Amino acid sequence: MAPIYETDKPILYERSGATAWITLNRPDYGNAQNAQMLYALDDALVRASEDPEIRVIVLKGAGKHFSAGHDIGSPGRDADRPAPRRATLWGDHSTLDGAAKYYVREQEAYLGLCRRWRELPKPTIAAVHGACIAGGLMLAWVCDLIIASRDAVFSDPVLRMGVPGVEYFAHAFEMHPRVAREFLFLGERMSAERAWHLGMVNRVVDREALEAEVEAVAARLAELPAFGLTLAKQAFNAVEDFAGKRSAMDASFHMHHLAHAHNALVNGNAIAGMDARAMATASVRATETRERGGIYG
Ligand code: ZN
């Protein structure tokens, strides 16, 4: 079925001084990421990257949430449609069958684009409020800094659909592996405060102060020698990759796709028939269980 897009501007782009403010703009669907949005985001990042006046890039969400994850159920879901190839040269996934279709699409649109954005030579800040769920984590994690408002919550509930984590498997690099296991196994929502204690988030501020805080940090980054900052960014990416981030993601990506294929064999559906509502319910239920059990004391 052809997607029905609710907007022709799923990404907003605004320049303020040396900062590009890029806004995920599907607020009616929690900024769920369809291909329309992901490639508009890529266009915006290319624009910011190529503009010599831009020295810092901020990524934020319109409406109540940063991003509820990949689009698994809005009228604008377009996963089966042909899409541009920017990160890979795998060809058009929409012409393929079976596991190849999912694999090629996610190599390009999820793992590939996220890696491309992580390697963007200008510093990036994710300004996170509300929900940052599953694919939402991927967009925050590829940024250099994450500044969150106190109301932000983070979770990866995809194990509920039998899939071992999102396609960009950075969990064990974003937090201690012991905590990352708990985060993924239980699928609970993590508060901004706890994410800050774990070092996954740089700063936590009140919701009303988020934009000003991000603006202040961006202004300080904009004063630094741009090429030096790019090299510092590359150095951190290199450290993570020498520690195995890239190869761990390659390995886990294949497990992720074994899970999609297993689901398709067992249930006839690669995401085990889960939709956005079922995932949200599972996530809330997991968190209620945690609150009753008092696991964090
Ligand atoms: Zn997937």
Q: How far is the CA of 15 from the centre of ligand 1 (A)?
A: 33
Q: How far is the CA of 206 from the centre of ligand 1 (A)?
A: 33
Delimit the domains of the chain by residue range: 11-211+226-293
The pLDDT mean for the chain works out to 94
Helix axes 98-106, 245-267, angle to 10 degrees: 150
Q: How far is the CA of 81 from the centre of ligand 1 (A)?
A: 16
Q: Within the chain, which residues score under 70 in pLDDT?
A: 283, 288-297
Q: Domain 11-211+226-293 in CATH: superfamily? A: 2-enoyl-CoA Hydratase; Chain A, domain 1 (3.90.226.10)
Q: How far is the CA of 167 from the centre of ligand 1 (A)?
A: 6
Beginning with the edge strand found earlier in the chain, give each strand of the sheet holding 190-191 in spatial order.
131-133, 153-155, 190-191
Q: Which residues contact 119 (CB under 8 A, 6 or more apart)?
A: 234, 237
Q: How far is the CA of 27 from the centre of ligand 1 (A)?
A: 23
Q: How far is the CA of 253 from the centre of ligand 1 (A)?
A: 8
Q: How far is the CA of 160 from the centre of ligand 1 (A)?
A: 13
Residue type, 116: R
Q: How far apart are CA 128 and CA 152, in angstroms?
A: 6
Q: How far is the CA of 207 from the centre of ligand 1 (A)?
A: 31
pLDDT for res 45: 98
Q: How far is the CA of 87 from the centre of ligand 1 (A)?
A: 16
Q: How far is the CA of 150 from the centre of ligand 1 (A)?
A: 29
pLDDT for res 46: 98
pLDDT for res 285: 74
pLDDT for res 199: 97
Q: How far is the CA of 189 from the centre of ligand 1 (A)?
A: 20
pLDDT for res 295: 37
Q: How far is the CA of 4 from the centre of ligand 1 (A)?
A: 22
Model confidence pLDDT, tens digit, residues 100-159:
999 999 999 999 999 999 999 999 999 999 999 999 999 999 999 999 999 999 999 999
Helix axes 226-242, 245-267, angle to 10 degrees: 60
Please identify every residue whose CB atom is under 5 Å from ligand 1, which is an ion. Answer: 106
**For the whole model, what pTM was predicted?**
0.95
Q: How far is the CA of 254 from the centre of ligand 1 (A)?
A: 10
